[in-house]
Amino acid sequence: MFEQLSTVAINEIRVLVREKTFLLLLLIFFLLTLFSAYIGWSTKTTILAVYRQSVITLKQAGTANIPSNPFTGIAHLSIFRNMIIYIFLVGSLMAIVVGHRAFIRERKSGVTQLIFSKPLSRSSFILGKILGITIVLLMLIIATFLVSIISSALIPNQQLTMLEAAKLFSFYIVSFLYMFIFSMLGLIFSIILPTESLTLLVPMIFWVAVTFIIPELTTGQNPVALLNPTNIIQTTSQGPFFNFMHTVLSPFSVEQHYTTISQPLLETQKQFRSLGILEIIKQNGGSFLSLMLYFFISVFLTFYSFGRYKVTNDKIYE
């Protein structure tokens, strides 16, 4: 069984890394990772200078009580805070494409019947696919982590300590969990839907719901405001409607669980600097467990969908 499984997984990786569209998305993602460190650093340097200039302007205007610097003690890691947004925008979308391509290829070319005429069990096949996707996503996450480390080393006075590097790595592991859930979503719909365009579009509708609709209903923030890391720090839900929505929808808000854990790991606020990785996981145990739960549910649903997939009756339309 292991041989069959590894053959399917290796084939999956080989085919994916040859796909131009996947490589295009990968390139965008790496460029964003590289750019994100520079943007974070440039913004951090500028806002400190803006504060100093504001103090001069206020003093010249004769203001006696000048507010203290709100940016004092910004953590090194916070320059990567845009990565939270890029993961739930680009990372999850790329994961959907990875999952979608994993099975739609076989269905379109009509080789599923041929594959199962060989001595290959269904469970080995789907497990091989999941393993292949997992390896691709893990390779991607490790490469992104290395890009982040290198980019931070290139920026003056931005070298990370061991603890900071470990927190950054933990953030990417959490990001892997998040992306994996979306890749399974792409895979599930590529198994169950009859139209090729719908197999890509339906998981995208889910993506829009998770990224924009649920957070809007629970926080009252507009969709574009949710793309600013400063805004996702604060929750504006007030009043009975938002309180109700928050209670009802929070368990389903995968994005919220992801950002809740990611923020302390990337030290987006001063109070997070003193926390260790275990403390962060302990404090956000609910969100961490929810992400894990979604991870296992997505694997279970993939197996379930594939179990119901009819090899002989399969037809896929454009």
Partner 1 sequence: MNNNPIFIIAKKEYTDAIKNVLFLTLLLFLFILVSISLLVTAFNFQSQVAQYNTAIAQLKSMGQIGAILEKPQYFPLQMLRGTIEYLEIIGAIIGIILGYICIAKEKGNNTMLLLLSRPVTKTSFIGGKILGNSLLILSLLGLILIFIISSISGIGHVFFSSIELLKLFLAFLFSYIYLMFFFCLSALLSIFFKNIPNALIVSFAIWLLIVLIIPQIGDTMDPDNQIPGGFFNSMHMTKIQQNEVISKFRTYETFRNALEESSVEKHYERLVFATLGIKDIYNGKSLNVIFKDKWGDFIWISSYYVGSILLAFALFKNKRVLEKMS
Site for partner 1 contains 159 (CB under 8 A): no
The burial class, CB within 10 Å (0-12 / 13-18 / 19+), for 53 is exposed
* Residue 224 binds partner 1, judged by CB under 8 A: yes
Residues 158, 164, 166, 171: is their CA dihedral positive or negative? negative
CB 119 within 8 A of CB 125: no
Closer CB to partner 1, 116 or 196, in the complex: 196
For the CB of residue 43, give the shortest distance to partner 1 in the complex, in Å: 5
Residue 67 binding partner 1, by CB under 8 A:
yes
Single out the residue of 193, 190, 175, 170 nearest to residue 254, CA to CA. 175
Count other Cβ atoms within 10 Å, centred on residue 254: 25
Structure tokens at 95: 């994961």
Listed residue (231, 289, 303, 297) closest to 263, CA to CA: 231
Q: Within 10 Å of residue 202's Cβ, how many Cβ atoms?
A: 20
> Which range in 138-146, 149-157, 229-237, 284-292 contacts partner 1 by CB under 8 A?
229-237
Stretch that binds partner 1, among 164-172, 235-243, 292-300, 308-316 (CB under 8 A): 235-243
* Out of 86, 171, 172, 306, the residue judged to bind partner 1 by CB under 8 A: 86
| 49 near partner 1, judged by CB under 8 A | yes
- Distance (Å, rounded) from C-alpha 26 to C-alpha 20? 10
| 39 touching partner 1, by CB under 8 A | yes
Per CB under 8 A, the list member of 50, 150, 153, 163 interacting with partner 1 is 50
- 280 counts as binding partner 1 under rule CB under 8 A: no
> Please, what's the b/e burial string for 117-129 (b: 16 or more CB within 10 A of its CB; e: otherwise)?
eeebeeebbbbbb
Q: Does 249 bind partner 1 (CB under 8 A)?
A: no
Looking at 50-58, 122-130, 146-154, 305-313, which segment touches partner 1 (CB under 8 A)? 50-58
The one among 11, 17, 42, 159 contacting partner 1 by CB under 8 A: 42
Distance CA 233, CA 231 (A): 5
Q: Which of 146, 154, 208, 297 binds partner 1 (CB under 8 A)?
A: 208
Decide: helix, strand or coil at residue 316: coil
Q: Which is nearer to partner 1, 38 or 296 (CB)?
A: 38
Contacts of 77 (CB under 8 A, 6+ apart): 160, 164, 167, 168, 265, 266, 267
Radius of gyration of the chain (CA): 22
Determine the interface stretch with partner 1 among 3-11, 85-93, 176-184, 302-310 (rule: CB under 8 A): 85-93
Positions that interact with partner 1 (CB under 8 A)? 20-21, 24-25, 28, 32, 35, 39, 42-43, 46-47, 49-51, 53-54, 57-58, 61, 63, 66-67, 70-71, 82, 85-86, 89-90, 93, 97, 195-198, 200-201, 204-205, 208, 212-213, 216-217, 220, 222-224, 227-231, 233-234, 238-239, 241-242, 318
